[in-house]
Amino acid sequence: MSLRRLVVSALVLVAGPYPAPAAFAASDDSGMGDRLTVTVTDAPGGAGVYPLECHPAGGGHPAPRQACERLDSMTTRGGDPFAPVPRGAMCTMIDGGPATARIIGVWAGRPVDAVFDRTDGCEIARWDGLVPVLPRVGG
């Protein structure tokens, strides 16, 4: 048996039970997934801390599948579901109540740290656009 054949046979025996490096890369990405923590305060019936996992949907969120679908639909259309109201936006001076929320984690491979409130018409619309990720508040 040639030295080359002996080395190749030994490598096959040693590496045989282990997945290829590409399999490690794929499992690392999918293992991280999309994980968010939604913290809601001063929202009647919706205050709390809700872990949300997507792909697959899960966690302690009250509606994980629907919340993940909402975020997916906003992301696939090229939007950023966590983007703040643009500077200089003309917003109605309507107060939507004291509810606030903070979402932190990772979405679509990017870090998320977004704050939501209901202090004017733009912020109310931003909040309402994320229901059911955030709880429905008000009428």
Domain boundaries, given as residue ranges, for the chain = 33-129
Give the whole-angstrom CA distance, residue 78 versus residue 75.
Answer: 5
115 neighbors 100 (Cβ within 8 angstroms): yes
For residue range 15-28, what is the model confidence (pLDDT) as tens digits? 444 333 332 233 33
Superfamily of segment(s) 33-129: Subtilisin inhibitor-like (3.30.350.10)
What value, to the nearest 5°, has the Cα angle with vertex 63 and ends 62 and 66? 165
For residue range 22-58, what is the model confidence (pLDDT) as tens digits? 322 333 344 468 999 999 999 988 899 999 999 999 9
The pLDDT of residue 135: 97
